[in-house]
Structure 1
């Protein structure tokens, strides 16, 4: 995502699920959804629209190569004339990072690129050669480069002038901004590395990014992913809206974005991607495993992000994929590899509590048979709370900064943002849950003695943030 709201104002609060914790049944997945289940999913979709927090959205669920569910809800326009359908095209936003990294891995297989090549080798005209000598392609597509976030400055310039930024504008930004940290030593979600990745692909291949997406993804996968610049004029492309109070304000497409975002798709089109990706249609199994494996920093701390891929778990089950959006999440692709099951949710509305993470969580809980009760967690007794207490610092430009872990009553821990603290429930194995964010969780990276080195934060199952303990930085 280009921007993520402060945790204290998290859009992941799901107020309809009080004290949410998951107690799941484990029905066997089938290649069909019965009529009763269809009716429940349809009813859920309609209830979300009735809340009035989103203009329209689309959901797709696939088991392997079989479509289990695909529906559009609401409208593409605020006049409520044109309904969202299964052919409605949406922006996939930062899910483009995963697709772009797949393209990079194909070029690595073809020996046109190497993950160990430096930015200086790949873009010799990059304005800061000292930085470029230290940053590798792998750093750029794993958010470990230390590059500053370009989006805030360049987005503001675009909003102010209405003119598409040029390579000169981007290079001017990088020339005047230093690294946040030494490459490979920390994690900070950053669009800059993927912006440069897009430039690298076009320079190395001497073809447009769209042409390479067509060659590597669309043609072998029988898909139709298109960059905004090509999709904006298509009749099936949904307009976008920003929710402000009780009103919806038109939000323009930004056709210059590519690399870090910019692709568009229908929900069912994108839902076809994970299975083909894992089967070797786009890249081989070695490349796939490199993408989905979380990166390890120079000090041995493991992130939850691979090469363009978010890792995590949802109700205890492994998930991989990505999210995308601006002020709130309006695109999510979640793949359950053990079930071979994919969920895709797109909305056409920004700054809304009914974002794609929220909608995914509700549809996944309904389809997978999760029940929500206040007492479902198998809570554990925390024996050594002092191993976790302290200040933790992150570098993300929107949700970074310092949080504090304090010891509360009865050996319990508190997650504190400035003066506001939230009780943490211990689940064992250095994992904690906070009731205010029912689908989120926190894990601690610890040393051999059990002393915490870092916090990894997961929003709606997906890894989002790393904060290192202050005395370990």
Structure 2
């Protein structure tokens, strides 16, 4: 068969194009398979139970559900399962504030008393919306109040009623002085949105964000409403689960009351990338490095960090936020340069979504990544529950050398508190003591052990451990408060 030169060239070009497209498909397929295997292993080890979505170059390459949305009825998680978002809510609150600023209805640099005239002038005249948005207001964080979760969190409040619980409190520092995470600040932003617009926070969300973007599976989570595909929230106890304690959703409000799906959060990501509901200039304000937060920075409802990309000498800028609320923890991370997105929504309470996100980023950038290991802390809890403290600790020490298990300070701290809250003081003290021996350079392990000794009335050891914690971390205000109380007694 004879073929003219230009036809040969055209044929060659088409073959190359098809080959390139096929290679891109195979690469994406390989990455998707790696993510599937990775998250499957996290699920097998009891470290993930939820929904996942990963996009690369703005296109979804993987989405799936793992474990159960409802354990009582064996209903699986899927990409359309609705999860409570916790503090991911804050980025939607920040968006509403900037939309209202763009409309000329408010300013970021004026005192909050301008919009909340009933707020105490002593503080309301020096705190600005910028301070609220960046957690630099100095307003005490209401979720840290004594007995907040045991008592206050179960009762319904109107925004004005709940604001009354903290508005007269003394500021922890001068506004703008430093970053200290405060749900109270974002609660006030919700109230300001209502005052400025004359509409509820929920109505503003629907009219300004969810309806324009066609985010049909997102909203304010009301406990009493029948909501199709809503996940139940659970808390992990060792290798088993219990239903999460009740939380009235009027309390997280503009700081953490929303639900969504991984698919809707992909729509949200694309809207941010295209400046669909806010100008480019003001969208950039959301992600700007307004204030230093540890080793990273905080914008408006978003954190900014860097992660090695493996593709250049520079690091990959990652914009994201996590969330935690009774029975759920969540994480969304975006890399504007690569147009990548990772969304993890988990409905079994605390787990290390940050580690999972890092491993997925490594897959996207063709870097080596670490496979998960079983939790040694959970192993210890099961052994103590089954065989008692002494036998449990002995089994733990024997298993410690196994590469199958990994020991994490936060995991040990969590099971110590589970024992403490269950009134199992001997077990809690044993776990906290192990944590001190394993992580002697951590201030937090001494703080937790001090609390356990305080619970059983051993003031001498409680004081000793609180002192050690404060020496290592002079900013440990909770430790200072407990120490002051103990010394007074």
Q: Give the TM-score, by structure 1 length.
A: 0.67
- The gaps in structure 1 that reach 5 residues or longer are 1-28, 374-413, 422-473
| Count of aligned positions | 349
What's the CA shift string for 1:322-364, capped at 9, x where partnerless? 1111489711110001101111110001134xx3223222322
What is the aligned partner in structure 1 of residue 44 from structure 2?
Answer: 50
> Take 2:277 and 2:27, find their aligned partners in 1: how far apart are those partners?
29
CA RMSD of aligned residues (A): 3.2
2:89 and 2:256 in contact (8 A); partners too: yes
What is the aligned partner in structure 2 of residue 10 from structure 1?
Answer: none
Higher strand share goes to which structure? 1
1:231 and 1:264 in contact (8 A); partners too: no
> Take 1:138 and 1:75, find their aligned partners in 2: how far apart are those partners?
40
Distance 1:160 1:146, change over 3 A: closer
Q: Secondary structure at the match of 1:144?
A: coil
Aligned counterparts, 1:69-108, within 5 A = 69-79=62-72, 81-108=74-101
Q: Secondary structure at the match of 1:304?
A: strand
Deviation at 1:53, TM superposition (A): 3.5
Correspondent of 1:130 among 119, 122, 127: 122
Distance 1:239 1:114, change over 3 A: same
Higher helix share goes to which structure? 2
Deviation at 1:168, TM superposition (A): 5.2
What is the aligned partner in structure 2 of residue 369 from structure 1?
Answer: 366
Aligned counterparts, 1:405-444, within 5 A = 416-418=441-443
Deviation at 1:76, TM superposition (A): 1.3
What is the aligned partner in structure 2 of residue 163 from structure 1?
Answer: 155
Deviation at 1:152, TM superposition (A): 2.8
What is the aligned partner in structure 1 of residue 138 from structure 2?
Answer: 146
Q: Secondary structure at the match of 2:343?
A: strand
What is the aligned partner in structure 2 of residue 350 from structure 1?
Answer: 349
- The gaps in structure 2 that reach 5 residues or longer are 1-22, 309-314, 371-438, 447-489
1:154 and 1:170 in contact (8 A); partners too: no
Distance 1:261 1:155, change over 3 A: farther
> Take 1:419 and 1:228, find their aligned partners in 2: how far apart are those partners?
33
What is the aligned partner in structure 1 of residue 357 from structure 2?
Answer: 360
1:231 and 1:237 in contact (8 A); partners too: no
- Larger radius of gyration between Structure 1 and Structure 2: 2
> Take 2:206 and 2:335, find their aligned partners in 1: how far apart are those partners?
26
1:147 and 1:178 in contact (8 A); partners too: yes
Deviates more, 1:340-349 or 1:148-157: 148-157
Distance 1:155 1:264, change over 3 A: farther
Distance 1:108 1:238, change over 3 A: same
What is the aligned partner in structure 2 of residue 239 from structure 1?
Answer: 232
Distance 1:322 1:162, change over 3 A: closer
> Take 1:275 and 1:115, find their aligned partners in 2: how far apart are those partners?
26
1:295 and 1:302 in contact (8 A); partners too: no
Distance 1:130 1:116, change over 3 A: same
Distance 1:78 1:311, change over 3 A: same
Deviation at 1:311, TM superposition (A): 0.3
Q: Secondary structure at the match of 2:185?
A: helix
Q: Give the TM-score, by structure 2 length.
A: 0.65
Note if 1:286 corresponds to 2:281. Answer: yes
Q: Secondary structure at the match of 1:351?
A: coil
Aligned counterparts, 1:177-256, within 5 A = 177-224=169-216, 225-229=218-222, 233-251=226-244, 252=246, 254-256=248-250
Between the two structures, name the one with larger relative contact order (CA 8 Å, sep ≥ 6): 1
What's the CA shift string for 1:4-44, capped at 9, x where partnerless? xxxxxxxxxxxxxxxxxxxxxxxxx9688643333322222
Q: Secondary structure at the match of 2:299?
A: coil
> Take 2:229 and 2:444, find their aligned partners in 1: how far apart are those partners?
47
What is the aligned partner in structure 2 of residue 276 from structure 1?
Answer: 271
Deviation at 1:230, TM superposition (A): 7.3
What is the aligned partner in structure 2 of residue 317 from structure 1?
Answer: 316
What's the CA shift string for 1:37-67, capped at 9, x where partnerless? 333222222211111234x211111235522
Deviation at 1:268, TM superposition (A): 1.6
